[in-house]
Structure 1
Amino acid sequence: MPKPLILIMAAILSSDPALAGESHHEHIHSPPYAGEQTREIKALSKEDIDELLRGGGWGLAKSAELNGMPGPTHVLDMAAELDLSAEQIERTRKMRNAMRREAKQIGERVVVKEAELESRFRVGDIVEAELMARVSEIEALRAKLRTAHLLAHIEMARVLSADQIERYAVLRGYR
């Protein structure tokens, strides 16, 4: 074995006793999910559920938001700073309300389907075919939810002027 390789291996083994074969009996693990076992639906926090049930964004439109396509909810929050016209405000309100209705309906279904999956794991007899079907259904709903939010951002970019979009980016701290 070449000398440089031996030196590298020695350095690695001396820096990590586990790699060198040393045994540590008092290993304390800090599991990242500690405390989450008490959730009603383990895969969703209370905040996740609240966001889904109210039709909130749940961070699903970041690819649009962070690439210059504002969201209707934030645009309405900044209507004065963006100097929106009455027509822009009306179009944005309609767009936001339609998106929220759709997102709320889909979000409710996501929560129900996650609860059903949770209950199957509680029983403990879920089989692979059922698991695949349930997860596919949940992920299809998530895709619809994300699409609803992203489409609202695309539509919003058509309502605002280039100057308003730039001002939005500055106000949101992206520029």
Structure 2
Amino acid sequence: MILYGSYTSPFVRHCRIALLSANIDFEFVDTDYASSSEKSPAKKVPFLQDGDLTLSDSSSILLHIKQKSGQAGFVDVADFDLFALANTALDSEINLFILGNSGVTPENNDYMLRQKNRVNACLEELNTIISSTTIAEHKYSDGQLRLACFLAWGVFRKRFSLEAFSALNEFLSTIHTWELFDATSPDKTS
């Protein structure tokens, strides 16, 4: 099994955590924009090759890992919704990050302003969700892992602060004590 991706990608990080926690042997190939454009029909990372099977989205990769290791998927619909909401915020923040590098910002583009407002609204809702969630030590659901990967990426890239979101800040601090999350940190692998 070969996972292609970037050490800094939050989507790739989630897949790496899933593979490590399932004790599945895999090769990781650090991939840049040019390689992902050539090798993935989605032209993004992650993508995975497992024999004749090629998967081009982190969600399908996660499902494949779960099925291959005999693990259950999402805990319930609320966990799936948490995963989806974290994905929405992450996609919007990545748009802001990448297009901002080209000078397209919320200050000069209405679509980007909508993306910024979406991220802020998602962070508020995610803070509310996590503040009422009980999390067993180092037993994280897929929704919680996607959220953690998003938050850690946002802080790593200095895209936002969690200062105003005490529950999210505490959640991120706690998950950083988990060996697998810590081991996949871009600070340690890049």
Higher relative contact order (CA 8 A, sep 6+): 1
Greater percentage in strand: 2
Q: Rg: which structure is higher? A: 1
Greater percentage in helix: 1
Structure 2-normalised TM-score? 0.29
Structure 1-normalised TM-score? 0.31
